[in-house]
Amino acid sequence: MNTITLLQPDDWHAHLRDGPALQRTVPDLANQFARAICMPNLVPPVKTVEEANAYRERILAHVPEGVHFDPRMVLYLTNNTAPSEVLKIKQSDYVNAIKLYPAGATTNSDSGVSDISKVYGVIEQLEEHQVPLLLHGEVTHNHVDIFDREKRFLDEVLSPLLRQFPKLKLVLEHITTSEAAHFVLEHDRHVAATITPQHLLFNRNDMLVGGIKPHFYCLPILKRQTHQQTLLEVATSGSPKFFLGTDSAPHSKDAKENACGCAGCYSAPTAIELYAQAFDQVGKIERLEGFASHFGADFYGLPRNTNTITLVKEDQVIPESLDYLDGEKIIPLHAGKTIQWRKV
């Protein structure tokens, strides 16, 4: 198959940042996706429906003329989030979920939840109103090996949580392990997961062999090839429990290539082509539309898009760098490499 036409896809997990960064991030995302779940880990974080609506307006100001893009918003769950905020989400036109970051788990997560039992009042309301809880699924204890943090989260946090709240609707974000994939499969329709292009295309060897490559460094971190293989299997299986979420995150070249380099891969400009590459490599390109365009919208209770995009099997070289803030550069995911699909 050399050409494939899809309903326009959505990105159910993306980082746009704020302020001048939006000049770069919004057009890149809007030229690929009809909708995106816009992560709330700004400084300060987006904690109320009112703040989310204001952030949405700032995003919309940077959508290119003639492009339809619908930012879907998320609130940042803190130890102090009022349970009453959940009903406001349910009644909102544009806010779709609430995001739990374990404190210290990733970029701008210092305001995150330190003990999940402290937010049981909010989670009870989420279950009652069927508002999705989005989870960065890692424990953050210093003594836990970074490659084991997702599995430990499943065992120590998420399994007990679902016993307490069995009808909670949740998305385990950017899963990276076989254990997470099987956890999602073993639970009912209320539990789903997003998968990034980097975790489908690469594993920890790509990041570490022949020298550390900071532009592959993300959190949760890339895992063994066996985990990558499982993620490819479930993403291309046709299961509606797995859908597209890039976790695209802009960081300047200087911030990545640093003694304390930050975590995140910037995939937004060529995300759908990267997913096409992954699906095609395992002979499942015909399954891409469900993963990219159907299952996320269905899970969130939103209508599927009606516009289409077309991908052709034609080589393109991902740019070595992209302009960013004040003359800085972003190095996109797989920079300088040739992929076999292109959006037309």
Q: Which two tokens stand for residue 311?
A: 């991908």
C-alpha angle 43-44-45 in degrees, rounded to nearest 5: 95
DSSP letters for 198-212: HHHH--HHHHHTTS-
Q: Which two tokens stand for residue 218?
A: 């993300």
What single letter denotes the amino acid at residue 102?
P
CB 55 within 8 A of CB 38: yes
Query: Does 263 appear as a known binding residue?
Result: yes
Sign, CA dihedral 183-185-186-187, equals: positive
Distance CA 191, CA 189 (A): 5
- Among candidate residues 155, 247, 254, 280, the one labeled active-site is 247
Distance CA 230, CA 198 (A): 14
Q: Is 66 left (phi over 0), alpha (psi -120 to 50) or beta?
A: left
Query: Does 182 appear as a known binding residue?
Result: no
Query: Does 334 appear as a known binding residue?
Result: no
What single letter denotes the amino acid at residue 138?
E
Query: Does 247 appear as a known binding residue?
Result: yes
Residue 8: closest CA among 55, 70, 62: 70
Distance CA 139, CA 146 (A): 9
What single letter denotes the amino acid at residue 327?
G
Query: Does 143 appear as a known binding residue?
Result: no
Helix (H, G, I), strand (E, B) or coil at 43: coil
110 included as an active-site residue: no
Query: Does 219 appear as a known binding residue?
Result: yes
Query: Does 15 appear as a known binding residue?
Result: yes
Q: Which two tokens stand for residue 68?
A: 């339809």
Known binding-site residues for Zn(2+) equal 13, 15, 99, 136, 174, 247
Catalytic residues: 247
Binding residues: 13, 15-17, 41, 99, 136, 174, 219, 247, 251, 263
- Annotated binding residues for substrate, written as ranges, equal 15-17, 41, 136, 219, 251, 263
